[in-house]
Amino acid sequence: MTLNEQQFIALLPILITGATTVVVMLAIAFARNHWWNATLTVAGLNLALASIILAARVAPQTVTPLLVIDGYSCFYMALILVITLACATLAHAYMEDFAGNREEIYLLLTLAASGAMVLVSSRHMASLFIGLELLSVPIYGMVAYTFRNHRSLEGGIKYMVLSAAASAFLLFGMALLYAHSGTLSFKGLSGQFHMAGLHSPLLVVGALMILIGLGFKLSFAPFHMWTPDVYEGAPAPVGAFLATASKTAVLAVLVRFLLEASAENELAMREAMGVIAFLSILVGNFLALTQTNIKRLLGYSSIAHLGYVLVAVVAANHLESEAVAMYLVTYIATTLGAFGVVALMSDAGRLHDADAIFNYRGLFWRRPYLTAVLTVMMLSLAGIPLTAGFIGKFYVIAAGVDAKLWWLLGALVVGSGVGLYYYLRVVVALYLPEPGMVQHDARLDWGQRAGGIMVLALAAVVLIVGIFPQPIIDLIRDAGITALHLS
């Protein structure tokens, strides 16, 4: 294998993120210092984010048959790096009082980010599997990081076991595709789907098994069993990463596979995805109704939101890629903000996070800025106008209407109505005073901290995108997201 200069520049974001992992590991070996290791992590991730500008200038570049660095992958790599920076910032505040080793969380975080970046650049089943495992294995450790909390350890074990089952489905599906076609590249499979279509059971079953394997990672219903327990057990910054970066990377590679391999044109695939979207919307929303734990509520909410975005994938029209990208941007900003508030209310030194809705009762009278942020995030998740969530949902509905998917749009409307109830239940709790409540706790001057500034910035982004979304729409179009579908 030889790399020319342009290919090397195209790979810079992945290379710098990998190098950051090595630097953090060496820093831990020389001296344990929480602030220093967190600073190295943030500096390396910022450098990788800046290098995407250079990578975008030389894109598209095919780097071996396994990876392609184009506008699509650059856009999603930037999203993943922004998410990782946000989670590293939250982790620094969260881990301050942790009794064990704190520094390895940054090592695992950057390693998982590297896997996610490989995943969004994949154009071959081999690189898809490598990226997926490089993303998943560090998350096992991150979920169980506060292992003295039995829920954290239980969540890590559950995620590891079920993730291994998902990987088995994925590998079996790849084996069936290779047995029929003799190739594992997405483009190579496209010709096979065109020629054989539904006449080849190996091809269809293989593609469906890959959908099942990735569906586990995305927590689509009925593959969602692990989600609430893992979200509840994971430390709040890790839950934020799992709900955003992991889902973004897997969904991005799924969309690329469906488009490049022309698998979404197969009736069996579209019907399967339609049923999965329908179940995810209803199961996620109705099960969230009974939750009194905000992290479990966000877990079930994520199932529903991934069902919403799958409606755009099932539509398989010119709006598909753009709608998926726009929805992910709004979902990421909103979910990071919601988990950010939970992280700032919690710390690893406690037995468990401040994740019961009761913990947030009357929060307005104690920490008004956090209350404002969480209120904006809940309204955005509900899809209220003037928030980013409304724009994302509008895109999905437009794609569904264009494809005449009335049954899925009906489920979306019902699910949104149900979601409005449990999101507003959280909002109402924030403003309910209790007898003898302290009006303001001056010790909680979190607004000067990096985490507090970050969640305020996320709330501002959610409102600005909800009011004036055109700059984000232009960015998505300039990145060539729509062109991927047209090609």
The arithmetic mean of pLDDT across residues 300-317, rounded, is 93
Does residue 445 register a pLDDT over 50?
no
Cβ contacts of 376 within 8 Å, gap of 6 or more: 337, 387, 459, 462, 463
Which residue matches tokens 């197969």? Answer: 266
Does residue 444 register a pLDDT over 60?
no
Structure confidence by residue, pLDDT tens digits, 448-477: 478 888 999 999 999 999 999 999 999 888
Exposure class string for 103-125: b at 16+ Cβ within 10 A, else e: bbbbbbbbbbbbbbbbbbbbbbb
The arithmetic mean of pLDDT across residues 306-310, rounded, is 95
Give residue 197's pLDDT: 57
The arithmetic mean of pLDDT across residues 156-181, rounded, is 93
- Gap between the Cα atoms of 77 and 68, Å rounded: 12
Give residue 83's pLDDT: 97
Q: Which helix (H) or strand (E) holds 353?
A: none
Does residue 487 register a pLDDT over 60?
no
Does residue 294 register a pLDDT over 60?
yes
Does residue 231 register a pLDDT over 50?
yes
Tokens found for residue 318: 């010119």
Q: 340 by DSSP, 3-state: which?
A: helix
In sequence order, what DSSP letters do the residues of 415-437 get, joined into one string? HHHHHHHHHHHHHHHHT---TT-
Give residue 342's pLDDT: 93
Percent of the chain with pLDDT over 90: 69
Give residue 238's pLDDT: 96
Our CA dihedral for 461, 462, 467, 470, rounded to 10 degrees, sits at 60
* The one-letter amino acid at 251: L
- Gap between the Cα atoms of 471 and 36, Å rounded: 36
Q: Categorize the per-residue pLDDT at 1 as very low, low, confident or very high, splitting at 50, 70 and 90.
A: low
Give residue 212's pLDDT: 93
Does residue 274 register a pLDDT over 70?
yes
What angle (nearest 5°) sits at the alpha carbon of residue 172, between those of residues 178 and 302?
120
> E strands, 167-304, where?
none
> How many domains are contained in the chain?
1
**Cis status, amide bond into 435, omega within 30 of 0:** no
Does residue 442 register a pLDDT over 90?
no
Give residue 263's pLDDT: 75
Q: Categorize the per-residue pLDDT at 434 as very low, low, confident or very high, splitting at 50, 70 and 90.
A: low
Cβ contacts of 239 within 8 Å, gap of 6 or more: 231, 295, 298, 339, 342
Does residue 350 register a pLDDT over 80?
no
Q: Which long-range contacts (CB under 8 A, 24 or more apart) does 47-50 make?
A: 47/16, 47/20, 48/12, 48/13, 48/16, 48/17, 48/20, 48/81, 49/13, 49/78, 49/81, 49/82, 49/85
Structure confidence by residue, pLDDT tens digits, 70-123: 999 999 999 999 999 999 999 998 888 888 889 999 999 999 999 999 999 999
The per-type count for the chain, helices as H runs and strands as E runs, is: 21, 2
Does residue 55 register a pLDDT over 90?
yes
Give residue 433's pLDDT: 76
In this structure, the number of other CB atoms found within 10 A of the CB of residue 100 comes to 11
Percent of the chain with pLDDT over 70: 93
The arithmetic mean of pLDDT across residues 270-295, rounded, is 94
Does residue 45 register a pLDDT over 90?
yes
What is the sign, positive or negative, of the torsion defined by CA atoms of 47, 52, 57, 61?
Answer: positive
Give residue 330's pLDDT: 96
**Cis status, amide bond into 222, omega within 30 of 0:** yes
In this structure, the number of other CB atoms found within 10 A of the CB of residue 332 comes to 25
- Threshold 0.85, pTM exceeds: yes
The arithmetic mean of pLDDT across residues 173-199, rounded, is 81
Which residues constitute the domain of residue 163?
5-486
In this structure, the number of other CB atoms found within 10 A of the CB of residue 405 comes to 23
Mean pLDDT estimate for the chain = 90
Which residue matches tokens 């982004």? Answer: 461
Q: Categorize the per-residue pLDDT at 483 as very low, low, confident or very high, splitting at 50, 70 and 90.
A: low
Does residue 290 register a pLDDT over 70?
yes
Question: How many residues are present in the chain?
Answer: 487
The arithmetic mean of pLDDT across residues 412-430, rounded, is 95
Give residue 355's pLDDT: 87
- The CA-based diameter of the chain, rounded to the nearest angstrom, is 73
Task: Indicate the angle between helix axes 34-58 and 104-120, nearest 10 degrees.
Answer: 10
The arithmetic mean of pLDDT across residues 269-276, rounded, is 91
- Higher-pLDDT residue of 483 and 326 is 326
Q: Categorize the per-residue pLDDT at 266 as very low, low, confident or very high, splitting at 50, 70 and 90.
A: confident
Does residue 174 register a pLDDT over 80?
yes
Does residue 383 register a pLDDT over 50?
yes
Q: Categorize the per-residue pLDDT at 329 as very low, low, confident or very high, splitting at 50, 70 and 90.
A: very high
CA distances from 320 to 119, 213, 316, 400 (A): 20, 22, 6, 9
